[in-house]
Amino acid sequence: MNVNTPPKDNQPDAPLNKFLPLFAPHEEPNQHRVKDGVVARRRPSPLPVVQNLRAAVREWREAFYPGASETTRHLLHHWFAQAHRVPLADGGEAEFRYYFCQREAIETLIYLREVRGVETTSQLWTEFGGARERQLADGIPPEEDAWSRTLCKLATGAGKTKVMSLAVVWSYFHALREENSPLAKHFVIIAPNIIVFERLREDFRPDGGADIFDRDPLIPPEWRGDWNMSVVLQDEAGGAATGGTLYLTNIHRLYKERGAGDENGDDSSAPWAGPKVNRNKALDTGAALRERILQHKRILILNDEAHHVWTANRRGSRRLGFSTKRCPSAVESWSGRSISRQRPAIGSGSR
């Protein structure tokens, strides 16, 4: 292990050096701090699935994405290989580059779904895990393998919303441009509480100004005319839309936890979660919302701040169970900040 010796404590800048970044946000991590200095390699993950996936995706990236469709390669090149500038509030411009953790998260999702065809947890563990994971994969109950589920774990402030927007654009154009594409043009983004819902609304359907699809360089200019996405908020279940649809909703519009209180992890009544939700009203509007969502043959569900996806009673799975009965080809993509009883995560944080 190559450890670089840090500056002596008697040097004026020594305390500050411990807080300086070791690499730019858009760069792949190549160093990490330890107690006695800096190690000249990325911090390894203790999870074999994550470690093996990082290596596989890196090799795929460096080979310029073999096995991916033309649509996918075009989008990846547009996002990560072209220079982008975005307007600022003061009328100026600034360079725009996605963080490496955002890039690695969407690359991993694409690599698993399109290139390797991984659709179940047991398949993921078998192909990328160690001996223990392969043994555990044989014991996963069929109901837990019924949906295609992916967890992207990013650090707080790393930009999960940008990863969700990348996933939406990739899935939409893949479904639009690739023959017999299994991906979706319709999306459900789920917030855990009112505060997160309002934050997501400012990104996906702000009261004024551009949304995230216009602010960020998500859509290649030559494909702009093919982008047709309607954003439907949780209380707007009625009506019809052409093209793709993105439903933005609070979890309480979709599911009522029976007998759950704060002791079971329901944080919706916590002071920081915003005003308490009227669940009777939420369920009334939620019924119409569910009916509209289930008219689509394929949906991509993105669960923001998915803290409870893997808890012991699998509340996250039960919350969205309505979709498997009427929409069996639904694909779920979980996006979470911290997961209790965590199983191997495929996402990355630049740590």
Same domain for 93 and 34: no
Angstrom distances, CA of residue 24 to CA of 87, 124, 337: 21, 31, 21
pLDDT of the chain along its 351 residues, tens only?
555 555 444 444 567 777 889 999 999 999 999 988 899 999 999 999 999 999 999 999 999 999 999 999 999 999 999 999 998 888 899 999 999 999 999 999 999 999 999 989 899 999 999 999 999 999 988 888 887 788 888 888 889 999 999 999 999 999 999 999 999 999 999 998 899 999 999 999 999 889 999 999 999 999 999 999 999 998 886 666 778 999 999 888 876 554 444 433 444 555 544 455 555 555 566 788 888 888 898 899 998 876 555 444 444 444 444 444 444 445 555 555 433 223 333 333 333
Report how many domains make up the chain.
2
Nearest to 54 by CA among 278, 344, 299: 344
Residues 108 and 16 occupy one common structural domain: no
302 domain-assigned? yes
**Residue 200: burial class (beta carbons within 10 Å; 0-12, 13-18, 19+):** buried
Q: What is the rounded CA–CA span in Å between residue 106 and residue 230? A: 23
- Asked whether residue 159 falls in the same domain as residue 16, the answer is no
Residue 190 lies in a domain: yes
Residue 349 within any structural domain of the chain: no
**180/82 same-domain check:** yes
- Examine residue 269 and state whether it is found in any structural domain, yes or no: no
The verdict on 14 and 62 lying in the same domain is no
- Residue 343 lies inside a defined structural domain of this protein: no
Query: Does residue 189 share a domain with residue 159?
Result: yes
262 assigned to some structural domain: no
The three-state secondary structure class of 68 is coil
DSSP E strands in the chain: the ranges are 3-4, 32-34, 37-39, 84-87, 93-96, 148-153, 186-191, 229-233, 244-250, 300-304, 331-336
Question: In b/e form, how buried is each residue of 220-234, taking b as 16+ CB within 10 angstroms?
Answer: beebeeebebbbbbb
Same domain, 39 and 151: no
The answer to whether residue 267 sits within a structural domain is no
Verify that 298 and 151 share a domain, yes or no.
yes
DSSP SS3 for 228: coil
- Enclosing domain of residue 73: 48-254+276-336
Verify that 148 and 232 share a domain, yes or no. yes
Structural domain ending residue among the three candidates 43, 62, 77 = 43
Residues 30 and 165 both lie in one domain? no
Q: What pTM was computed for the model?
A: 0.82
Q: Which residue has the tokens 């043009």?
A: 185
Do strands 3-4 and 37-39 pair parallel, antiparallel, or not at all (unpaired)? antiparallel
6 domain-assigned? yes
CATH of the domain at 142: 3.40.50
Residues 7 and 96 occupy one common structural domain: no
Instruction: Answer yes or no: do 23 and 153 share one domain.
Output: no
C-alpha to C-alpha distance for 59 and 67, rounded to whole angstroms: 13
